Structure 1
Amino acid sequence: MRIDGRDAIQNGKTVLGIELGSTRIKAVLIGEDHLPLAAGSHDWENSYVNHIWTYSLEDIWKGVQISYQKMAAEVKELYGVSLQTIGAIGFSGMMHGYMAFNKDGELLVPFRTWRNNITEQASKVLTELFQYQIPQRWSIAHLYQAILNQEEHIARIHFQTTLAGYIHWKLTGQKVLGVGEASGVFPIDLDSKSYNATMINQFNELIASQDLPWKLEDILPRVLVAGESACVLTEEGAKLLDVTGELKAGIPLCPPEGDAGTGMVATNSVAKRTGNVSAGTSVFAMVVLEKELSKVYTEIDLVTTPTGNLVAMAHSNNCSSDLNAWIGLFDEFAKVMGLDASANQLYGTLFNLALQGDPDCGGLLAYGYLSGEHMTHFEEGRPLFVRSSNSNFNLANFMRVHLFTALGALKIGMDILLKQEGVQLDEILGHGGFFKTEGVGQRIMAAALNVPVSVMETAGEGGAWGIALLASYMINKAEDETLEDYLSQKVFADKVGKTISPQLKDVEGFEAFMSRYVKGLAIEKAAVEHLQ
């Protein structure tokens, strides 16, 4: 039984971060040194119901409670004490999407996640109106599309929020969002660090003819920046989070943030000229800008750091899902052959084999479009593997092409930033499952972006650790201490990482693959039209 950390646990000197990702909910309890003391997680999957990607409220709370229970059980097992109080708590979730509630707090329609590409009409109208890129997955696009569709529930909306905002609301009673999360709901004014008032008025004028009983500012959560208090855990909230009843109320919570913001924090990428890439079910790269872009790009989203600085985001809906499915097929084959290979062995062996493939994947082509892909303008997706009769079809190239294509849509967006806009990056910090096999994901990412890619030792902790750091900043920061300084001087000062620089043959190979990828989009389009 460990004694280090026990005093911190008993005296409430810990901080808890919980993030609801696309495939996993994770709870991480950190100590005064910002390192994890205990963790718990719960795997879950979205459902495709009535042409909507969604998670039920029951599954949301079940997942949060299980991940918390597993973390608390690990505390008891490792330290011999029960978790009854915590210094601060933070919640994070997958950004965007649509959760609308009536005046009684009832969900009006099933939760529409970021994964739904069903708001193209609204996205185009709002982008033109605001002269500001409004992606399909943004909350305001979902709201306006529902209005355009004349959905019955619109007149009964009392409150609209995101997944992280919903959890926070139920645990504290406060309808708030961190500015980074809010920037994926509606455009942010960089001076006020809140919703852009001019665009709020434009939206209200746009829907005035609908004669709705609310204005947009009435139904959106209040915006807070990192370091501000976002109220405390209520008695009801404590019981909802910890079903055993041991956790006490009154614990302060930081503003709820999105997975983009927590990814920036977890990789110390919140300062200008820094960037990070999160690669898992989806993949997105975040670059903190020194100045605004020269024009509006439909492929580039503009969001903010948790402190309200402007960030360019290149986001792809699809990254590792199809790749994971192929690994699952190889796992099934291994079992049929009587081989007992662990998941780590399978991923490690097959990923490393990809490094032995031809630079351009031997002429192979694949699309991992499990769902639609806004970067290449697909409302639906069909995973595909394609080869010609003269392709070099072997296992190394097969694995390499699936690693390459996982980053294909992302590269289209990043080329706009790095090649067209001339954005400068000394390196980019990576985190997420794509980088779990040491060295492989980094090398492929470095080839795709032609930028050195670093992975911190702590990168595997991910967004749950990132939101825990934001909660820690809220209660432990010195007066006037910025988040950038807090992270650099108190969290990452002694953290080491591994950097991989791009290799010329890999960069050239990826460019050759991308030429094939762009030309082959017509094949993907045909698959969507003809394969159900």
Structure 2
Amino acid sequence: MSLYVGLDVGTQSVKLLAYDPSLGEVVATVARPMQLVSHDDGTREQEAQWWVDGIVACFAELGPALRGRIRAIGVSGQQHGFVPINARGEVIAPVKLWCDTSTAAECEPIMAAVGGAAACIALTGNPILAGYTASKLPWTRRHRAQAYAELDGILLPHDYINFWLTGQRYAEYGDASGTGWLDVRNRCWSRELLQAIDPQRDLAALLPPLVPLESTFTLAPRIAALLDLPAEVQVSTGGGDNMMAALGTGNVAAGRLTMSLGTSGTLFAYADHPVVDDDGRWAAFCSSSGGWLPLICTMNCTVATERMATLFNIPRGGGEALMAQTDPGAGGLVMLPYFNGERTPDLPNARACLHGMDLHNTTPAHFYRAAMEGATYSLRNGYDAFTRAGLSFDTVLLTGGGSNSAAWRQLIADVFDLPVKVPTQAEGAAFGAALQALWAAQRGQGGEPDLAATVDAHVRFDDALSATPDPRTVPRYAEQYRRFLHHLSEVGPLLRTAPSPPQGSEQ
């Protein structure tokens, strides 16, 4: 039977997932690790050729029988990267990634050129943040002048892989909204922002066209031969990794909140209208399913529990027993888990704090619980911003490494007072890309016109991993969350200042 492939081009790896919709099963997953160029100035870069090499290796590992059954491919890519190409379609510089902060100084001048952050949000729905694509262009103009002079195309990582697969330059609204120059309300490029980035050049002429969601493109003959795939394979529009993860977790209707418990924490939701915050407290993205995808990121999630595990030599998986030894509230401990600074709330210079220690709660178990609770309260703080904007939710769709913890699943259910569901397919972004490819290919042959219906028909959840709020502990966590907010309010002014360097260090 036919197979549909999702490619996820991430920072750490390239992944391939092959899905058989007739069986409702993923029949193969293959991955290749990626290198990362990292420097002390905040540089985080990769070579686009590394992604291509990884994709070629992944398809080779599938074997000819599986390759011959592939009918369509969807691509998920890490957001915000800048892939510069020349008139011949060649990549002319290393790709600056979403996590590159070497371009941070370029953000304020761009926003100042349109009247400041508030004016920028009024124009596009988002401020210009260091990770966004916008700041990478003036940086390239200053530091890689030859590449900038040769620039003939501006592509995002997933756009580039689509270009490599098909020979066609095209973009879609979800990933494009992470550039900083897409007007998310009107779903079009903002000429004002593009002019602010470079008033001497028509950057709009270098951008790929924004194509409809249902568009498909035929695999280029050269690539079909290289990958040993059928010549008629179609490539869908794809999208950014968060947008594809929304599809892969079933977040295609109002009321569903996807939460990812990784090193950082992420909350995003489907909306049928633009959800823009005048203060820029969340990313006002478009979805890749025809709607919008407001997204909140916290910088410290599993990093908090991992730090406690390292500090107390807690073995892998040992945190579950420690959680069982302690009660909600961690014996009065409150952790503000800002080990990496924080984005939500906006405290980039913050450091982690632990409050309420006494002679009885200074145990590994209490510290571990305080870290898990603190990371969860940080996510709840972002959730509250969503609800104040008028969004409402009836379900949490949980993904990421933290979702493997039964204690954390129950904690989420209790703190948010919502049922928690965990998708059976852990590779949400790759699976979402495969589902988009399935829908687009079948729609082109008279199949289901509604992407959400296709997603709901194929995304399944593991009942054994679900959690429901416990009425005995929900109010206890609510009280502890109020304490967390109180501490954040009181300590927040101190956390807003840059930390002093250690005595004796260079100034």
Band of TM-score, shorter chain: 0.7 to 0.9
Indicate the SS of the match to 1:374.
coil
Runs of 5+ consecutive residues of structure 1 not aligned to the other structure: 1-7, 335-340
Q: 1:146 aligns with which of 136, 139, 149?
A: 139
**1:473 equivalent in structure 2:** 439
One-letter amino acid of the counterpart of residue 507, structure 1: A
**2:214 equivalent in structure 1:** 227
Runs of 5+ consecutive residues of structure 2 not aligned to the other structure: none
**1:306 equivalent in structure 2:** 288
**2:476 equivalent in structure 1:** 505
On the 8 A contact 1:364/1:401 being kept in 2, the answer is yes
| Structure 1 residues 140 and 527: alpha-carbon distance in aligned structure 2, compared to 1, 3 A threshold | closer
Indicate the SS of the match to 1:224.
coil
Q: 2:454 aligns with which of 474, 486, 491?
A: 486
Q: 2:196 aligns with which of 189, 197, 206?
A: 206
Instruction: Determine whether 1:444 maps to 2:411.
Output: yes
Instruction: Determine whether 1:36 maps to 2:10.
Output: no
Q: 2:4 aligns with which of 1, 7, 15?
A: 15
For residues 53 and 320 of structure 1, the distance between their equivalents in structure 2, rounded to whole angstroms, comes to: 24
Indicate the SS of the match to 1:91.
strand
Following superposition, the deviation at residue 260 of structure 1 comes to 1.3
Q: Which moved more, 1:15-24 or 1:356-365?
A: 356-365
| Structure 1 residues 445 and 528: alpha-carbon distance in aligned structure 2, compared to 1, 3 A threshold | farther
Q: Which moved more, 1:317-326 or 1:220-229?
A: 317-326
For residues 373 and 154 of structure 2, the distance between their equivalents in structure 1, rounded to whole angstroms, comes to: 37
Q: 2:168 aligns with which of 168, 174, 177?
A: 174
Following superposition, the deviation at residue 413 of structure 1 comes to 2.7
| Structure 1 residues 494 and 136: alpha-carbon distance in aligned structure 2, compared to 1, 3 A threshold | closer
**1:276 equivalent in structure 2:** 258
**2:75 equivalent in structure 1:** 91
Following superposition, the deviation at residue 39 of structure 1 comes to 1.0
Indicate the SS of the match to 2:31.
strand
| Structure 1 residues 408 and 151: alpha-carbon distance in aligned structure 2, compared to 1, 3 A threshold | farther
CA-atom RMSD in angstroms: 3.5
For residues 126 and 441 of structure 1, the distance between their equivalents in structure 2, rounded to whole angstroms, comes to: 37
On the 8 A contact 1:54/1:113 being kept in 2, the answer is yes
Following superposition, the deviation at residue 182 of structure 1 comes to 1.6
**2:402 equivalent in structure 1:** 434
TM value normalised by structure 1: 0.78
On the 8 A contact 1:91/1:257 being kept in 2, the answer is yes
Indicate the SS of the match to 1:39.
strand
| Structure 1 residues 509 and 480: alpha-carbon distance in aligned structure 2, compared to 1, 3 A threshold | same
Following superposition, the deviation at residue 15 of structure 1 comes to 0.9
**2:323 equivalent in structure 1:** 354
For residues 435 and 499 of structure 1, the distance between their equivalents in structure 2, rounded to whole angstroms, comes to: 11
**2:384 equivalent in structure 1:** 415
Following superposition, the deviation at residue 257 of structure 1 comes to 1.0
On the 8 A contact 2:248/2:459 being kept in 1, the answer is no
Q: 2:393 aligns with which of 389, 414, 425?
A: 425
Instruction: Determine whether 1:217 maps to 2:204.
Output: yes
For residues 139 and 390 of structure 2, the distance between their equivalents in structure 1, rounded to whole angstroms, comes to: 38
| Structure 1 residues 282 and 105: alpha-carbon distance in aligned structure 2, compared to 1, 3 A threshold | farther
**1:367 equivalent in structure 2:** 337
One-letter amino acid of the counterpart of residue 205, structure 2: D
| Structure 1 residues 292 and 61: alpha-carbon distance in aligned structure 2, compared to 1, 3 A threshold | closer
**1:54 equivalent in structure 2:** 44
Q: Provide the aligned length of Structure 1 versus Structure 2.
A: 482
Q: 1:251 aligns with which of 214, 224, 233?
A: 233
| Structure 1 residues 216 and 300: alpha-carbon distance in aligned structure 2, compared to 1, 3 A threshold | same
Q: Which moved more, 1:299-308 or 1:154-163?
A: 154-163
Indicate the SS of the match to 2:79.
coil
For residues 291 and 352 of structure 1, the distance between their equivalents in structure 2, rounded to whole angstroms, comes to: 44
On the 8 A contact 2:409/2:466 being kept in 1, the answer is no
Indicate the SS of the match to 1:37.
strand
On the 8 A contact 2:84/2:151 being kept in 1, the answer is yes
On the 8 A contact 2:421/2:466 being kept in 1, the answer is yes
| Structure 1 residues 148 and 509: alpha-carbon distance in aligned structure 2, compared to 1, 3 A threshold | farther
